[in-house]
A and B are shown apart, each in its own frame.
Chain A
């Protein structure tokens, strides 16, 4: 694992309980090409630990990503993977889940991919409540295109595309997801692997759409929201006795952006997933069923045309 830089910089420190078994079982064919110190290493580590803890077999897991630094994720995980177009991980993942609902489906990507170009899909997967988990590595910057504002960049931020400062409000992924009907909404911090692992496990086990937004600092292009920025500010909801059934409290906590920035599970509800409500999906995955029409079905179709 390439966590050495994080450890060297004391960014993971005591919170990293490395799991050699998780790393071995779920390590992908290629090693991450992220910049040394990138927050995404912590997310990968937590994800692999969550898989290990849940005992998910690599062949029963499909990891789908879009485009961006963090979207290289599927290649780094020992699982079926789809590295798709920019912003399109969610519809691809939805199609895959519906055609084979026995798979555990996890979509991964960054803030530009998920909240920018793919933003429309996020709104609709939330209300649709597809049973899959979306892990967003939010670094509040476009990294792979060498540093421009993203939909979560702070006001006034100076980047190559905003040399005079950002005039556009950042979106709040947590409140947006809650408002649009997501049934599991959480925020993690890539340097807190223990908490993040638990949030990912909860998201995967949750039946419905789970959004896990993760502060995953870009060490190369975002010098405003780096580890040093987050470290003293992040506070855990679980320590504050937050009730994830209370959406108003969840939104209030999610809006806090100052000395206190909350992580943890903001909101959870048991609204049934679309997968569980669609009678067509009862039984084996539709992708594994025999093709074509039975004689009776064909007869029925013809008789309605007469």
Chain B
């Protein structure tokens, strides 16, 4: 499919309960079937009815890295959406609304109003959401898409509800389409067609599927936004894939159930958000002490406490670093996007199986709840599986020691059920045989040996994960450093900075523990100006970087209003900080969602 430079963002706004998800899903399916890439960000609140939702679907004929900086087509399902966002629109943007219930205010110059007389078009329909279907028809026309495409999509979606529902929706969509054809001009760049069809998934679905591909057999969770999508995916697929899925009474129960399942040899995983993760932390320490491999996912939202449940933040890095009392090793990884999240699950399971310890995967609302296109051929459903020193056919020799002191610190593991290997594991400090040394006679030498044994498992483990690599021009004026989900927006901002005559490059960080401190320092010491970009107030990564490398960045771009960065936020930050008058830039969030 030859590129026609398509870069179009469709936004649908309304209140919770107005049925935004359905037109959003239909649009997404239509786009990916044409081979177009998409990145959808849904801004919403913790409310089932009411509030304001804005679903932004950005589509391009090449990979999309962020939800972008603009809206080209805005569908207002209520007056509130019009009032909030009309002023944000630029010249050429289209605004679709029901002229019977929504009044446009003063539109910026060049914005094209596309009123739909819904009650006139819908006739005697009793369907309260029929305006959404009419709007889809209008939208297809504006985007220059043949009506048959929408006809097919609606027929597919509603066929289970019977012919009458299909007919009503198709005829209403047709009415909207015809109305738009007669009254409005198409957008400047119509949607191309003919590319290789893509798939769509959310980050949470990618994490669940990543678990299934990695061999997860036990998944437990307590519902908590924005991590609940993983539970939904797991529950939906449990019986087909042979995964035991349980919704548990609290996250303490979740984290400990995972330990029980993992101890018998199953790959076990759970996901939560920061508050639930806080409840899990004691168990994470227990997994370390008992040397049981398990994966804990924290999908970050804005905190502290219950915080802003439906908004994003990168505020839990230090919580992951400090999860649980005591001084112990754990893996911590923050994937950069959905595909990376999918791949990272198997990668992390291999690491925790080898080192027999807990691993923490940090996602956030932006990755987990966003909807993204993905080329299905890029998804490796048969990743490498390495279970480390898990003995599945052991021969008893009479002196098995679960915590045998070895040079690597790794003790061969036999799970319950094998004759001749009976042993006890303990969350209290213990000796090589699992016998407690905390009671009766503590033993400083045994304690020291066990601490050192567990630590030895992490010696040289950095070699098992790739070191961060500089992306973009060598010798750039500015080096932007980000971690986790900010990958895409920084990547895009660097392209935009070039238009401003600023050459920037990018050092994305994924693995927090193990951390390639020497490599990172070597790169950053050569950089001309280092700016760290992160979605939090205090600069959690900046402080971690300093603690691991002694390196202090020159300046920082930080955002902590609950909304993710848009590319222009980073661009403006770099331009402002280049003046050298300040060290911290906090972008202004124009869209109030």
Q: Mark B428-439, 1 if CB is under 8 A from A, else 0.
A: 100001111001
Please tell me the size bucket of the interface on A.
35 or more
A293→B257 CA distance, assembly (Å): 23
Cα–Cα, bound, A28→B241 (Å): 39
- With beta carbons under 8 angstroms apart, the residue of A78, A81, A98 that contacts B218 is A98
Q: In the complex, are the beta carbons of B259 and A301 less than 8 A apart?
A: no
Q: Which residues of B contact A102 (CB under 8 A)?
A: 417
B33, B215, B254, B424 pick with most chain A CB within 10 angstroms: B424
- Collect the chain B residues with CB atoms within 8 Å of residue A93's CB: 260
* Distance of A278 Cα from B250 Cα, bound (Å): 21
Residue numbers in B under 8 Å from A59 (CB-CB): 416-422
Q: Which of A29, A33, A300, A305 contacts B439 (CB 8 A)?
A: A33
B residues 240-261 touching A (CB-CB < 8 Å): 240-246, 248-250, 252-254, 256-261
Which A residues between 265 and 293 are near B, CB-CB below 8 angstroms? 278-281, 285-289, 291-293
In chain B, what residue has the closest Cβ to A77?
B424
- Please determine whether B433 and A29 come into contact, CB atoms closer than 8 angstroms: yes
Given A91-B253, A95-B262, are A72 and B436 also a contact pair (CB < 8 Å)?
Answer: yes
Contact (A91, B256) CB under 8 Å given A98-B218, A291-B267: yes
CB contacts under 8 Å to A, within B381-398, are 381-383, 385, 387
Nearest opposing residue in chain B for A59, CB measure:
B419
The reply to whether the CB of B209 lies closer than 8 angstroms to some CB of chain A is: yes
Q: Does A14 contact B (CB under 8 A)?
A: no
A window 73-95: CB within 8 A of B: 74-75, 78-85, 88, 90-95
User: Which segment, of A117-125, A206-214, A217-225, faces chain B?
Assistant: A117-125
With contact pairs A278-B244, A292-B382 given, residues A81 and B261 touching in the complex (Cβ less than 8 Å): no
Q: Are A100 and B283 interface neighbours, CB within 8 A? A: no
**Interface check B379, CB cutoff 8 A:** yes
Q: Which residue of A lies closest to B248 (CB)?
A: A91
In this assembly, does B145 line the interface, its C-beta being within 8 Å of a C-beta of chain A?
no
Which residues of the partner chain B approach A62 to less than 8 Å between Cβ atoms?
264, 416
Asked whether, in the complex, the Cβ of B376 is within 8 Å of the Cβ of A306, the reply is: yes
Verify if A44 is at the interface (C-beta below 8 Å from B).
no
State whether the Cβ of B415 lies closer than 8 Å to any Cβ in chain A. yes
Answer whether residue A147 sits at the interface, using C-beta atoms and an 8 A cutoff. Answer: no
* A82 with B263: CB separation less than 8 A: yes
Q: A80-B422, A293-B241, A301-B209 are in contact. Are A99 and B382 (CB under 8 A)?
A: no
Residues of A within 8 A of B424 (CB): 28-29, 74-75, 80-83
Residues of A near B241 (CB, < 8 A) are 293, 297
Q: Chain B contacts of A261 at CB under 8 A?
A: none
With both chains docked as a complex, state the minimum distance between the C-beta of A245 and any C-beta of chain B, in angstroms: 28
Roughly how many angstroms separate A269 CA and B10 CA in the complex, as a whole number?
58
Indicate if A103 sits at the interface (CB-CB under 8 A): yes
A58 interface contact, C-beta 8 A: yes
Nearest A residue to B200 by beta-carbon distance?
A: A305
Q: How far is the CB of A29 from chain B (nearest CB, A)?
A: 6
Verify if B217 is at the interface (C-beta below 8 Å from A): yes
Determine if A91 and B257 form an interchain contact, defined as CB atoms under 8 angstroms apart: yes
Closest chain-B Cβ to A47's Cβ sits at a distance in Å of: 15
Question: Would A286 and B382 be within 8 Å (CB), given that A78-B422, A80-B424, A279-B239 are in contact?
Answer: no
Asked if B366 is at the interface of the complex by the 8 Å CB criterion, the answer is no
Interface check B212, CB cutoff 8 A: yes
Q: Which of A33, A58, A85 contacts B427, CB < 8 Å?
A: A85
Query: Are the C-beta atoms of A92 and B417 separated by less than 8 Å?
Result: no
Could you tell me the distance between the alpha carbons of A96 and B258 in the complex, rounded to whole angstroms? 8
Does A280 contact B239, Cβ atoms closer than 8 Å? yes
Contacts of B422 in A (CB 8 A): 58-59, 78-80
In the bound complex, residues from chain A placing their C-beta under 8 Å from that of B197 are: 306
CB 8 Å contact bits of A97-124 with B (1 = contact, 0 = none): 1111011000000000000000011011
Question: A67-B427, A95-B268, A280-B242 are known contacts; what are 16 more A-B pairs with Cβ within 8 Å?
Answer: A29-B424, A59-B418, A75-B434, A80-B424, A81-B434, A91-B260, A92-B260, A94-B257, A97-B260, A98-B218, A98-B261, A99-B217, A100-B417, A121-B253, A298-B381, A306-B376
- Can you list 5 A-B pairs, Cβ within 8 angstroms, ordered by A? A83-B425, A85-B256, A92-B259, A92-B263, A98-B246
A: which residues have CB within 8 A of B?
Answer: 28-30, 33, 57-60, 62, 64, 67, 72, 74-75, 78-85, 88, 90-100, 102-103, 120-121, 123-124, 278-281, 285-289, 291-293, 297-298, 300-302, 305-306
Q: Which B positions have Cβ atoms within 8 angstroms of A?
A: 32-33, 197-201, 205, 209, 212-215, 217-218, 220, 237-246, 248-250, 252-254, 256-268, 282-283, 286, 290, 374, 376, 379, 381-383, 385, 387, 415-428, 433-436, 439-440
